[in-house]
Amino acid sequence: MNPLLNVGSASALADSPGAYGGEPGEADESVVMRGGARREATGLESSKDVTLFGFHNLTRDPINTRSGNVQVQPGARLLGPASGYTIRTKTGNITIRDATLQGNIATSAGHILIESGSRVEGKVEHLGGSGRRSTRADILVNGAEVNGDIEANRIELVNASVRKVSMGDAFETEWAEARLEVSGQVVVESIECKSRCLIVGQGGLDNRLPTAIGAGTVQYLDLTPPTTLAALMELTRLPACEEALPSGAWHEAQHQLERLCSPALDRHRAAIDPNERLAWGRHLTNSGTALGQRFATWLEYDPARLLLGLKAQSRDGLERSCAALAVALLVRDQGAGGGLDRWILEEASSSAAACGARWPIIQQHINRLEGRDGQGAPWIVAAGSREAFNTTALSRRPDGEQTRYFIEFRQQLKALGDPAEPR
């Protein structure tokens, strides 16, 4: 899988708690439905997790859950109604592995994973619209076939075959773009774009994929090495920080933070022409500083929203957010925040510890946000020169209050260690 694509491999998703069906529902127990030969199963409407084995005829009673996740196990076959949905969840995730499903599936605010040789005959739909923004794909199809339409704002296809992809919202005004990420052998018969759409991947995308139709505008970002500096800058572009905190700003910042913290930035450093490295490093540093400034704005103007966003993050998201907070402390004016900063930072480090966050990963993210490589060397150092450009406040205000908070916060995060290593 292309490392620049931020969703992660399907195998990693399947093995990770909280990834596409790994989280339990609100109820204390789950429902296991084992089908018999041509037996008509009873549908379900609850908050419990649902696991399906074998054959189920759901033409009369489809699966409909609120917060419960639905998992269709290998070898299962589901027959749904001709109209409506075979499986529908509100906030629960839907996972289909090496199974066959005839009918439509949808979620309002969860995620859908179809993988491992599965075949879906019907529509796969995310109903959340433009009222939300996720930092991972709404729908991921990995090694599977969808003989129908996929409709969502964030879609990822890996070695997949899909009849039609429909992205965006004709009435969308807030989000910058809908996004389709492709890697491996992907076959798509048609693409419909209703708003601004970005298609990311490798290998001559505009030639390999059909031309997107619709009322929207489409940009292809081909990441085939050697990647151009312009393409990398487009991938990590960041809107200017605003003191105003419009609705959706948190999700947009997380989206950009995920891009800037991509390990692929390390990989592409060597592929950049030495004469372009200076501009690339400054771009990264400026983008990371601007994003840190946005987090600093939340620290000062809306700490409640910042804390709410932090607590809703996965482990990976918290690791990135903690790095952004560390940078935020060094781009703020002296004396801003005071004790409020310390309270938020303690909550952030506590949440990071509770979800098993890893200090080595946080440190790598801090380096990337500051325009440094994995060893802390500035990326903006041009080949053969000694220029070092440091935009952090550590060297300018070594005794300041914000610097002291940064050091304390860094020590709290450093104490997390790496859960993968024995103590």
Q: Which of 321, 291, 292, 323 is nearest to 309 (CA)?
A: 321
The answer to whether residue 42 sits within a structural domain is: no
| C-beta neighbour count of 46 within 10 angstroms | 16
Residue 135 sits in the same domain as residue 249: no
Residue 124 sits in the same domain as residue 155: yes
Residue 151 sits in the same domain as residue 207: yes
The answer to whether residue 245 sits within a structural domain is: yes
Using the 3D structure, point to which of 190, 224, 258 is the last residue of a domain.
224
| C-beta neighbour count of 368 within 10 angstroms | 26
**What are 123-163's pLDDT values in tens digits?**
999 987 544 445 567 899 999 999 999 999 889 999 999 99
Q: How far apart are CA 112 and CA 96, in angstroms?
A: 8
Residue 207 sits in the same domain as residue 253: no
pLDDT score for 10: 30
Residue 197 sits in the same domain as residue 318: no
Residue 207 sits in the same domain as residue 328: no
Residue 200 sits in the same domain as residue 156: yes
Residue 185 sits in the same domain as residue 307: no
Kindly give the parts of the chain with pLDDT less than 70. Answer: 1-29, 35-46, 129-136, 170-177, 239-247, 332-340, 381-403, 418-423
Residue 202 sits in the same domain as residue 254: no
Using the 3D structure, point to which of 224, 256, 283 is the last residue of a domain.
224
How many domains does the chain contain in total?
Answer: 2
Expressed as residue numbers, the domain containing 286 is: 236-414
pLDDT score for 13: 28
The answer to whether residue 74 sits within a structural domain is: no
pLDDT score for 26: 35
Residue 360 sits in the same domain as residue 268: yes
Q: Which of 4, 420, 382 is nearest to 181 (CA)?
A: 4
pLDDT score for 388: 44
Residue 115 sits in the same domain as residue 203: yes
pLDDT score for 20: 32
Using the 3D structure, point to which of 224, 254, 276 is the last residue of a domain.
224
pLDDT score for 87: 95
What's the whole-model pTM score? Answer: 0.63
The answer to whether residue 32 sits within a structural domain is: no
The answer to whether residue 410 sits within a structural domain is: yes
Residue 158 sits in the same domain as residue 277: no
pLDDT score for 322: 92
pLDDT score for 419: 61
pLDDT score for 243: 58
The answer to whether residue 102 sits within a structural domain is: no
The answer to whether residue 14 sits within a structural domain is: no
The answer to whether residue 137 sits within a structural domain is: yes
